[in-house]
Structures are given as C-alpha cells and as structure tokens.
Amino acid sequence: MTPTVKAILANYESDNPGVKANLYRMLMQGRLGGTGKMIILPVDQGFEHGPARSFAINPAAYDPHYHYQLAIDAGLSAYAAPLGMLEAGADSFAGQIPTILKVNSSNSWATGINQAVTGGVDDALRLGCAAIGFTIYPGADDVFDMMEEIRELAAEAKSVGIATVIWSYPRGGKLSKDGELALDVGAYAAHMAALLGAHIIKVKLPSDHIEQKDAKKAYAEFDGSTQAKRVAHVVKACFDGRRIVVFSGGAAKGADAVYQDARDIRDGGGNGSIIGRNTFQRPRDEALAMLDKLVDIYQGAE
C-alpha cells in the first residue's frame, strides 16, 4: 500500500476492515493503483438509453464480456454495471477487476423522476462485487424515498464489508435545467451524498452558474472561473477532501475535451473519472488509446 492510499483509507474512520479492503482493491487496481486516482468504467447505458443507442455504434459492446475485458485491458480501477451485465461475466472475470453493482436503474420511458431498485447487497455478495452503486436525484419529489433506500442498502453493505458509491444527480422539483449543472447545486448534491455515508461520490462536472438565490451570497467572493477551481470546490464540499470524488464524462464528445476534463479533475484535486460512453462507444483501439492517455494525465504525465 502506498502512503497516498493509506492516507485516503484513513479518512474512512468508521468502516470495518471489509469495506476498507474493498476500497483498497479499487485504489490499488490497474495502472493507477496506488496513486489515489481512479478511472471507473460504468455501463448502465443499456438501462438508460436502450441497447441500440448504446451499442450499435460499436457492436462488440453488446457482449457483456467486452466491457469487463476493456476495463481490464485498459488497467482501470473498477467496472460498474447493473445486475444482468455483471452476472453475465461474473465467473469468467472473477477477481480480475473490482466490480460495482449498480443497484438502481431508470430508463428512457420513465414517467417520474425516480429509479427502480434492481439489485441488492445479497447480489453484490454472491457476485463478488467490491461496492454497490446507487443514484439519487436531489431536488426530485421522490428523493426522500431514494435516500431511504440507499440508507438501508448502505447500512447493509457496510455491515458485510461492501463499499457504497452514490451517483448524485440533481434533477426535478424546483431546479431549472441549467441548475442541474450549477456549481452550488453540484456541490450541494455531492455534500448530500457524503452525508448519506457514501464512500465514493460521483457527480457531474459543474458549470459556473449559481442556481440558488439564497446561495449567491455564499459564492459572492468565490472564484469559479476555471473548471479546476470548481472541481476543487466540489471536493471541499465532500468533507474537505475526506471522501473520494469522481466525475462523470457525460455524453460522447471529442477526445480533447475528455482529456481537458481529466486534467481539470486532477488539478482540482478530484479522484478521477467515471467514463462510459466516451469509451465503449468508440472502437476498442481508440478507447484503449484514450484510456491510456487518461491514465497518463492522472499520473501527472500530461
């Protein structure tokens, strides 16, 4: 164990050795192992957008094994997916890459702002997962129900040595569309995930918009002019850096934008990227090249 990882694990003061071992597995895995940085491959697009919109552009990705292998070959930190996707490769790749079972899911036809609980801690245990992943929608009418679901799942997971990752995506209710990506909103959403007991917090990269009237004063003197500074603010909102924070890449976009995002995350003190469509929707060689460069960036080489 490197001193960096040791320092990170020391922040998880209340966790049992089982949870710490699973955080360790993710932090020591792959090419970023030991650096305190992480790149996670999430493949829940099939639920969110359906199979064709997710995989037709790169048909090899219809096969669940493809994603396991991509994460392993790219030397990533972990692979996150819903139940069926993990089940379909759980034995072939057992032990080769830490997995995160995404235990709730939405889809393109949802008529409310919520998700279905589609996996459990029992599933995570039998599949050998390192963590469960759960999305909350702060701002939505149903967010209290979602919080109560993750409270119960996280307590159960912690009791059996499984780590908890919370995707915190503000949406609905009083929030404007721009507000979903606002800096104050993103920092608040990340903070709520931390308060809920998440070990790893996943949020979107925030814009420099300030959404909440009541928060404007608190940001009056804040310099959010660069993305790195905004990342640093989100990290601060996660217990002053005592929790691992990773940022999502969003829709597929140009490679340079992806690299710049990673540099900003790194420079702002974020722990890494959770990057899905930008990899599995590219041909495998391109994806591996992109991930190679992202690893370099997080290693400080670029």
Residues annotated catalytic, as ranges: 169, 202
9 binds its own copies, rule: CB under 8 A: no
143 binds its own copies, rule: CB under 8 A: yes
Residue that has been written with the tokens 């140009």 in this structure: 254
49 binds its own copies, rule: CB under 8 A: yes
Residue that has been written with the tokens 């799942």 in this structure: 153
* Helix-, strand-, coil-residue percentages of the chain, each rounded to 5: 45, 15, 40
Segment lying near its own copies (by CB under 8 A), choices 59-67, 247-255, 263-271, 285-293 = 59-67
CB of 142: closest distance to its own copies in angstroms?
A: 9
Binding mask 206-245 for its own copies (x = CB under 8 A): ------x-xx-xxx--x----------x--xx-xx-xx--
Q: How many residues bind its own copies (CB under 8 A)?
A: 88
Nearer to its own copies, 5 or 101 (CB): 101
For residue 156, give both structure tokens.
């159960």
Nearer to its own copies, 52 or 257 (CB): 52
109 binds its own copies, rule: CB under 8 A: yes
CB of 16: closest distance to its own copies in angstroms?
A: 8
Say what angle helices 227-237 and 255-267 make with each other, to 10 degrees: 50
Residue of 135, 129, 96 lying closest to 117 (CA atoms) = 135
96 binds its own copies, rule: CB under 8 A: no
CB of 81: closest distance to its own copies in angstroms?
A: 8
Q: If DSSP codes are grouped into helix, strand and coil, which group holds residue 40? A: strand
Segment lying near its own copies (by CB under 8 A), choices 26-34, 135-143, 259-267, 285-293 = 135-143
Largest CA distance in the chain: 54
CA 250 to CA 129: how far, in whole Å?
25
CB of 270: closest distance to its own copies in angstroms?
A: 16
If you write DSSP's letter for every residue of 163-200 in order, what string do you get?
EEEEEE---STT--TGGGG-HHHHHHHHHHHHHTT-SE
> Do the beta carbons of residue 134 and residue 104 sit within 8 Å?
yes
> Do the beta carbons of residue 115 and residue 167 sit within 8 Å?
no
Region of residue 50 (left: phi > 0; alpha: psi -120 to 50; beta: else): left
CB of 278: closest distance to its own copies in angstroms?
A: 17
Q: Give, as ranges, the residues between 267 and 286 that touch its own copies (CB under 8 A).
A: none
Q: Give, as ranges, the residues between 144 and 203 that touch its own copies (CB under 8 A).
A: 144-145, 147-148, 151-152, 155, 159, 170, 173-175, 184, 187-188, 191-192, 194-198
CB of 294: closest distance to its own copies in angstroms?
A: 26
Nearer to its own copies, 34 or 173 (CB): 173
* CB atoms near residue 17 (< 10 Å): 9
> Do the beta carbons of residue 139 and residue 171 sit within 8 Å?
yes
Candidate list 21, 117, 255, 289; residue touching its own copies; CB under 8 A = 117
Nearer to its own copies, 162 or 294 (CB): 162
For residue 67, give both structure tokens.
């994603």
> Do the beta carbons of residue 74 and residue 36 sit within 8 Å?
no
